[in-house]
Structure 1
């Protein structure tokens, strides 16, 4: 008993025990507030149909608010600790205020994240992201919170700190360069409706080709078709060029622009037998009679000059095939007939005569688009011989072997004839 009495009479023991009791009380209050408040809030959120309370619970906003209770106990209870010095009380109060500001800033940051979640679930939020604006607001929030915390810990006036920051403006501009560029780029992208979440973009210089999945303050994430992720700085989407396929998706048709390369040596005029045979094709039933009548009238108008074959107009297999393909596309059930549709002949060259098909499918689904395009060209490849046309391709090893075999056969035949005559 004497030793206990002596221990209690030791200077500072009452203060130490008071501080220990205060810490224990703050811990108990924190546990009770978190368990009771969070249980009540989660129960209310589960019973109501409101979405904002679920978002706040999911982002743990109430958790950070509950964390403020122990700080309040310490801040107002330190004065009740016996024999505590003014310096210790001031330090504890300053630390408690700083932690209160930190918890409040974390609660507000969580609430901003919950607001972003709610906005993302709206129809407009699925198209335009406010993640960059929310991130900028969080940066401003934590800058202000940092200034208040430093003021609470040092006792300096906030105006003095701001004047010091003004002197460091050049350094701050350098530190926050990416943030400033990202914010300006985000404002331009949003105000001009240049980019939305879900857009398909192509940016070859950064190996980006896929759907936009996230638009943040500093970066834009693109999921490429090979399932890789390309991260693009936001300002690059303003300074560099890229292709946005949103217009194609909104029109409901995807463009086919591909050529059939015709061997120029297979192009010729159509004789009577060829015209009779092609007249049986259903898709040429309107074209051939009208075209033949037009050509006949033209030739009659030539008079005596029409006796020379080179002066007369005649139908060609290439022109007739081009007309057939045009009608084929115009009547194809999977071609979008509200958009441009044409078959045009491009400038010929060493690779043959390019016959380009320019049209749009009635779907933007990638797999369906490729299937429609493949079906069209499969059919046209197989149809070329009906018009006496050949597809141009560079000689392959098989062509070389066939040519050498024919050459050897011709030589053998020539030798046999020579031996027979001799």
Structure 2
């Protein structure tokens, strides 16, 4: 081996070249030869590993090996062999230059650490991509855990690099950083909070990828498209992207619409305000007229008989309409809306469905429809609401009622 180290040197000395010059030319010649050899081996190794991994991937049913290839894991692994060769032969190349040998050896060791981190990253990214193809993990914050593993890997890698540069052993270097733990905690505060938040979000199943959330503090209202260690990305309905700190999911209040999406119904809670001055008892003529409204004709027929029987048995003086029991146009209208909603094809009958009278206001009496649509898609939901209240607004006048409208008076 010694003769190989100085083969070029000996030839140059025989040709009368100066000793120092011969040493430099010998070192450069060996270095070029070593780099060419490493490049050739790297190329051959990459081709062999790519061919081998592609063959295996085509023969297996799982797509994990395909994901490994797409994340360039075989290509990164192929760099290991030429790097080992470089580290092994560096002492021969720089045998006469101890200073350069020390620098190059440290550089190659640092490259080896970075290559190891790159291989680890490719492997973890492959795991992440594979798990996202599984229905069980598709909505889980896999990115957060992969980022945590990579952070720890990078911390260890940085410790190892500093250990190589300073000459201090890895363990001693790590122990010496214990005194700076407060600074480290401060630097990685958001990362630590995000990691803890990611665990709590997963354990408590608070948010999944694909959930619709509303986070008023951050102006977010849309679908969760990504959950990672530091942030949660929400694509709003106007297609803008809102970024929320992950730890905000456990420290602040937000609304997750998943329950509504899974329930099979979307809530309708809207009211119209009826003028109190238009509410009245129904006369016999009114009752006969309302019997022509098909949805409530049977109801009015039955109720009017019950009321008439009661008033007769009690000897109520009906010369004044207020005496005894009576139907009101407001109550009949409420019953009409209830029946209308019961028969509406787009309303979920298995969930709460009611028409109710709310507390009077200075503007009038609110009549509220509380129900759930059977279609939770936004555009269809809005169409259903529009369809329902188009009918409500148009039907009010048939019950001699009026909806409150604010009238502005302009002075001259």
**Could you tell me how far 1:264 is from its partner in structure 2?**
1.6
Q: Does 1:189 align with 2:201?
A: yes
Pair 1:134-2:128 in alignment: no
Matches within 5 A, 1:10-409: 10-12=21-23, 13-81=25-93, 83-300=95-312, 302-303=314-315, 309-395=321-407
Superimposed CA distance per residue, residues 115-154 of structure 1 (whole angstroms, 9 cap, x where no aligned partner): 0111111112222221101110110111112222222333
Query: In 2, distance between residues paired with 1:261 and 1:61?
Result: 67
- Specify the SS of the correspondent of 1:349: coil
- The two structures, once aligned, show a CA RMSD in angstroms of 2.3
CA contact (8 A) 1:71 1:97 kept: no
Tell me the secondary structure at the aligned position of residue 310 of structure 1.
coil
Change (3 A) 1:4 1:356: farther
- Name 1:6's counterpart in structure 2: 16
Distance 2:316 2:62 in 1: 91
SS at match of 2:138: helix
Using a 3 Å threshold, how does the CA distance of structure 1 residues 372 and 46 change in structure 2: closer, same or farther?
Answer: same
How high is the TM-score relative to the length of structure 2? 0.91
Query: Whole-Å Cα distance in 2 between the matches of residues 235 and 357 of structure 1?
Result: 38
Report Cα offsets for 1:281-306 as digits up to 9, x if no partner: 22113321232233234434544676
Residue 58 of structure 1: how far off its partner (Å) = 1.1
Using the alignment, how far apart are the partners of 2:274 and 2:283 within structure 1? 20
How many residues of Structure 1 are paired with residues of Structure 2 in the alignment?
A: 400
- What CA distance in whole angstroms lies between the structure 1 residues aligned with 2:306 and 2:247? 60
TM-score, normalising length from structure 1? 0.89
Larger displacement relative to structure 2 (293-302 or 322-331): 293-302
Asked if the contact 1:18–1:81 (Cα under 8 Å) also holds between the matched residues in 2, the reply is yes
* Secondary structure of 2:17's aligned partner: helix
Distance 2:138 2:116 in 1: 30
Q: Deviations over 1:26-65 (max 9, x none)?
A: 2222222223322442344345432111111111112221
Question: What is the CA–CA distance in structure 2 between the aligned matches of 1:248 and 1:83, rounded to whole Å?
Answer: 74
Contact 1:151 1:158 in 2 (8 A): yes
Q: Answer yes or no: is the 8 Å Cα contact 2:94–2:101 preserved in 1.
A: no
Secondary structure in structure 2 of the residue aligned to 1:319: helix
Deviation string, structure 1 residues 216-275 (Cα, Å, up to 9, x no partner): 001000000000000000111111101110000001100100001112221111111221
- SS of match in other structure, 2:234: strand
- CA distance in structure 2 between the aligned counterparts of 1:15 and 1:93, rounded to whole angstroms: 15
Cα distance in structure 2, aligned partners of 1:127 and 1:289: 56
CA distance in 1, matches of 2:207, 2:349: 28
* Contact kept? 1:326, 1:343, Cα under 8 Å: yes
